[in-house]
Structure 1
Amino acid sequence: MPGKVELSKLFEDTNVLHVYQGKELIKNRAVTVSDIYRPGLELTGYFDFYPSNRIQLLGRTEISYANMLDHESRLEVFNKMATSETPCFLISRSLPVPRELSEAAVKKQIPILTTPESTTYILSVLTQYLREHLAERTSIHGVLVEINGMGVLITGASGVGKSETALALIQRGHRLIADDRVDVYQRDHDTIVGEAPKILNHLMEIRGIGIIDIKDMFGVGAVKDHTEIKLVIKLENWDPKANYDRLGFDQDKREICNVEVPQVTIPVKVGRNLEIIIEIAALNFRAKQMGFDASITFQKQLANLINQNTQADEVKGEK
């Protein structure tokens, strides 16, 4: 089933909208698409591809053009724009609402909202809000923490030590987003956002202790509602036969919601300080993003050393 956002929730959460007409109607209306529509050709009478299921946003340009039309033309246009599936009409810049639009909205039981914000600004705000709330969500077994402002998803088999490692990271000043189950969604083509299910918000399970509240124990600075997932750390039990990356040349990835996220596999072994290793992995990843790659530096230095030795051998051979 397609997702939907109740118009009343949109109204409350964005805090930039006002009800001009139909306050009792917003509880019964919902938005099912994230795109906002600014009717242009429709004001001239062309309705062949009119997306009636979107929020209809009228700004200075649309209202000015509508005011140029005669009463009958405005009435005809707005009656066609007002359909049973139209969530609402929205007027930006607190512009005067045409009387004909008000009449058409009353007839079809469609609320009219206004905002003092500019058309471009309100378009951006509502589109981003709707994209986040209408995005398809999935759940991942793991722990999501924010290390120095970067979202790191820690995954691995049950009992490998994900929660204990995350707890140690929190003690080192980093923040918890979600433990055990992480709800993720795609914000745009390249961005994945993770958050905790409401029932698990700020909570963490530690085997042998039980459920603890990170917010109560460490303060509000130790938790965060959501973050972009930039890196995946996969913890797995040490296998002496496995061939682990030692130089950093290999670049593994994990696909989450059709987006490939860089992944680093870290073997778990008694005596390894996992929280420090994960912290360094996050710092190293950020350094690579900024163009500082230690593996490339090592390659260059190795190539220079080989070249120098080769030249020295050639000189000896000549003698």
Structure 2
Amino acid sequence: MRQTFTVLDLLNLDLKEHNDLGLRCIAGRQGLSREIRMPDLNRPGLALSGFFDNFGYERIQIFGRGEHAYLEKLDAQGNSDTIRHLFEQGVPCAIFTHDLYPTERLIAIATDTGTPVLQTSLATSDFNSRLIRALSNVFAKTLTTHGVLVEVFGIGIFIIGDSGVGKSEAALELVHRGHRLVADDAVEIRNVSGNVLIGSGANKALGHHMEIRGLGIINITHLFGVGAIRETKQIQLVVELENWDSEKVYDRIGAEEKTTEILGVKVPYLLVPVKPGRNIPIIIETAAMNERLKKMGYFSAKEFNQSVMKWLETENARKIYMQKRQMIESLQDRLRGDDSE
């Protein structure tokens, strides 16, 4: 169940570089505990003019240059009724872009109603795209599950399986071979934008540690360097490890694409049996490269199947041709025998 997300949480979001919102509170600090209930935004131009039909009171209100110019016009007219009506409806907060500063009348109303007023130096379009991206992540469906998430040749692979089957050992060998660890043991998965699964470590305090039976807890960052880790990665392939069952028939061709569903999103799925002599890390590497080929439109198993079918068709055609040729030769021999008589 999603925890409450407030305006103060929005201000405290730890976003870096091109995701940074650059927000600061300039009024209405007593309302920073107000809850933000949806990831949608609203430009209150029509509301400022007095039209409140179907107005999104639960949305964050964005004030750009157009809204700011209209606020100054209302201030010059001494008209603050629509502003007060807007803020009295309990909107989560108001955000001014372009480093625009609200009128003193609006500041007074915001303070009186306890409505947080925030400010950013970003342009409206840039800020809106960043904020929507951040809120989509906050409000995304979330699942915490057991497994190991690694990046192999650019493909995010979520390794699952029963405890003790060798998930962490396989991931450790992959890191040793130059790939990157995202999370071990507990993986938090978010459904972003409805069709993208983003995985990360469920416990940020533990960082990129791994538990290896017989060895204990190891710190991947200290052992292999920062190049061996990632904070987040899209899950593009699920690999399940299971102990080899001699009575079970495993797929040997792979012509059928199998998927598994996580948070309503279907992800390519592979079942890999584990037994002595099988090099699981190399199998996972090959699976990653094969998945990249599939995304480029090349499906090895299907191409193999088509080649076999063409060969069978060619072989059948050759047999039919040879049979007809033999019949013709036999008929010709018979005709020659009749002529000689």
RMSD: 2.0
CA distance in 1, matches of 2:245, 2:23: 61
Shift of 1:111: 2.2
Alignment of 1:221-240 (within 5 A): 221-240=227-246
Aligned residues: 319
Q: Does 1:188 align with 2:189?
A: no
Residue 105 of structure 1 corresponds to: 110
* Aligned equivalent of 1:274, options 258, 280, 286: 280
Contact 1:18 1:113 in 2 (8 A): yes
The 1:6–1:312 alpha-carbon spacing in structure 2 relative to 1, beyond 3 Å, is: same
Q: Does 1:213 align with 2:181?
A: no
Residue 334 of structure 2 corresponds to: none
Letter of the 1:146 counterpart? E
CA distance in 2, matches of 1:305, 1:77: 78
CA distance in 1, matches of 2:216, 2:158: 22
Residue 177 of structure 2 corresponds to: 172
The 1:146–1:73 alpha-carbon spacing in structure 2 relative to 1, beyond 3 Å, is: farther
Contact 1:143 1:166 in 2 (8 A): yes
Alignment of 1:1-319 (within 5 A): 2-12=2-12, 13-14=14-15, 15-19=20-24, 21-22=26-27, 24-25=29-30, 27-69=32-74, 74-83=79-88, 85-196=90-201, 197-319=203-325
Shift of 1:251: 1.6
Q: What TM-score do you get using the length of structure 1 for normalisation?
A: 0.93
Contact 1:179 1:200 in 2 (8 A): no
The 1:136–1:296 alpha-carbon spacing in structure 2 relative to 1, beyond 3 Å, is: closer
CA distance in 1, matches of 2:171, 2:249: 26
Contact 2:191 2:198 in 1 (8 A): yes
The 1:290–1:76 alpha-carbon spacing in structure 2 relative to 1, beyond 3 Å, is: same
- What secondary structure, in the 3-state scheme, does the structure 2 residue paired with 1:233 have? strand
Contact 1:84 1:108 in 2 (8 A): no
Per-residue deviation, residues 199-234 of structure 1 (Å, max 9, x unmatched): 432111111111111111111111111111010001
- What secondary structure, in the 3-state scheme, does the structure 1 residue paired with 2:133 have? helix
Shift of 1:72: 6.0
Shift of 1:285: 0.8
Letter of the 2:82 counterpart? V
Shift of 1:137: 1.7
CA distance in 2, matches of 1:18, 1:191: 27
Letter of the 1:19 counterpart? R
CA distance in 1, matches of 2:131, 2:146: 31
Letter of the 2:298 counterpart? F
Larger-gyration structure (1/2):
2
Contact 2:26 2:119 in 1 (8 A): no
Q: What TM-score do you get using the length of structure 2 for normalisation?
A: 0.87
Gaps of 5+ in 1: none
Residue 332 of structure 2 corresponds to: none
The 1:186–1:144 alpha-carbon spacing in structure 2 relative to 1, beyond 3 Å, is: same
CA distance in 2, matches of 1:84, 1:210: 56
CA distance in 2, matches of 1:110, 1:246: 63
Shift of 1:84: 6.3
Contact 2:32 2:116 in 1 (8 A): no
Name the stretch that deviates more: 37-46 or 143-152: 37-46
Name the stretch that deviates more: 226-235 or 48-57: 48-57
